[in-house]
Amino acid sequence: MRRIYQLFPALEHRAFFYFITGQTISMLGLWMQRLAMSWLVFRLTNSAFLLSIVEFVSLAPILVLGLMAGAWLERHDLRKALIATQILCMVEAAMLTFATYAGLATYPLLVVLSLLLGVISAFDMTARQSSVSLMVTDAHAVKSAIALNSMAFNICKLVGPSVAGFVIYFWGEGICFLVSTVTYLPIIYMLTFQVRLRERRAAPARKSLMDDILEGVRHVRGEFFLNHIFQLLLAFCFFGLSYSVLFPMFSTNILGGGSQTLGWLYGAVGAGAFFGGAVVSVYIVIRRIPAMLTRTVALTIAAIVVFALSRNVWLSLVAAFFIGFGITTTNISINTLCQTTSSDDCRSRVISLYIMCTAGVGPVGGLVFGAMADILGGPWTLLFGAAMLFVFFVLFVRQLRPIHHSLALALRR
């Protein structure tokens, strides 16, 4: 046990331990729900574009509400906000369960329920990310908590879709939605009775919510290293995350499988993501993050190219593993940088920008690439995305030395 605490010191903090336990259970159900939703939509429509619309509306509200959510959460109790968002997510899952078993699950209704989940997620994701650093007491534990939070997310990303693929095969999509509903109960209990957050540093008097939003944007643009890293992250999420909306097309039309193959692909991504989270949690060094990003982004581009060209299930699973590894190590590294270089009074706003990129920009790219896939096919669409991401990667590498210098100055403050 002592060895585990040495590797993951955040687990010694009672509030974080209870939070990560409850969140892991709820995220397991959510990932089962997401795969079941994707399969149900694709089964009803047989269109990657229509599926991408559902993916888009489930996360795109983060683009509209993300900055406002970050500024709003800095003015309110994060724990109470988290309890409220978990309850609302449970209600949304319950509505989806009822609609499926009652035979009312039409495509327009699924779009509406996905939009509802997207609105809730705009506040929920920012609140969860911002609260992690308030459950531990030192910088070393903060890095551990961020990595463990991502690892828990990706364990669920590994297990949830894999289980859902078999559940759908034998019992249909409805049971996945029911499981998702029930799994929110533990996290609601943990947040209500077991988790307490440390007090945030008092922020200066604010004039308006818009002033707070603009101040957060100016903070990111004013830091040279953050500005360039966010530009890379924006391109990475737009061009690199479109694989998920194309997985149903690849699992059926390209690899000749079904829901089980789709579950394996998501499971391979989750396995790579879990392994990436473990590696980053142990070896990450803040001042070396920009150099690490050059390796993780390059690996992601190469894995996407291999996946696009593969016609063999096993090779596709290996490529999917490295896609998950590259995406997770990149996201955790940038998340850690945002958390550790931001003060309490602006952290939620910086994190909201990060979440807007990772969770809001991806669906926009998915919408574009879903439409392209219906015309060009999945493989050519993925290759185009990889080529565009490579262009932005080269631009980032050209600025690597001044980025390192800017980060070093920020860490000395």
Tell me what pLDDT residue 140 has: 66
Contact predicate 360/59, CB 8 Å: yes
Q: Which of 23, 25, 282, 16 is nearest to 131 (CA)?
A: 16
Asked whether 90 and 185 are in contact (CB, 8 A), the reply is yes
Q: Tell me the two tokens of residue 393.
A: 């990667």
Give me the pLDDT at residue 387, please.
94
Residue 294's pLDDT band (boundaries 50, 70, 90)? very high
* CATH code linked to domain 2-201+209-412: 1.20.1250.20
**pLDDT tens-digit map of 231-252:** 999 999 889 887 777 888 888 8
The domain limits of the chain are 2-201+209-412
pLDDT of 144: 73
**In the structure, what pLDDT confidence band is assigned to residue 306 with cuts at 50, 70 and 90?**
very high
Answer for the pair 23, 80: CB distance below 8 angstroms, yes or no.
no
**What is the rounded end-to-end Cα distance, in angstroms, of the chain?**
36
CA atoms in the 13 A half-sphere facing the CB of 185: 6
**Cα separation of 335 and 358, whole Å?**
10
| CA–CA dist 110, 256 (Å, integer) | 26
Contact in structure between 294 and 397 (CB atoms under 8 Å)? yes
| 208, pLDDT greater than 70 | no
pLDDT per residue as tens digits for the range 131-152? 777 777 766 677 777 777 767 7
CA pair distance 253, 261, nearest whole angstrom:
11
Q: Does residue 180 carry a pLDDT above 90?
A: yes
Q: What is the pLDDT of residue 352?
A: 76
Q: pLDDT digits over 35-73, tens only?
A: 898 888 888 888 777 887 887 788 778 777 777 777 777
Please give the average per-residue pLDDT across 11-33, as a whole number: 85
48, 100 contact by CB (below 8 A) = no
pLDDT for residue 367 is more than 80: no
The whole-chain average pLDDT of the chain stands at 82
Contact 9, 191 (CB under 8 A): no
The H-assigned helical ranges of 46-138 are 48-59, 61-73, 78-101, 107-132
Distance CA 172, CA 181 (A): 16
Of 230-234, 274-278, 281-285, 327-331, the one with minimum mean pLDDT is 281-285
Q: Is the pLDDT of residue 285 over 60?
A: yes
- Residues 363-388 have a mean pLDDT of 85
Q: Is the pLDDT of residue 184 over 90?
A: yes
The reply to whether the predicted model has a pTM over 0.85 is no
Read off the tokens for 225.
């290293």
Residue 94 pLDDT: 95
Residue 411, token pair as written in the block:
């860490």
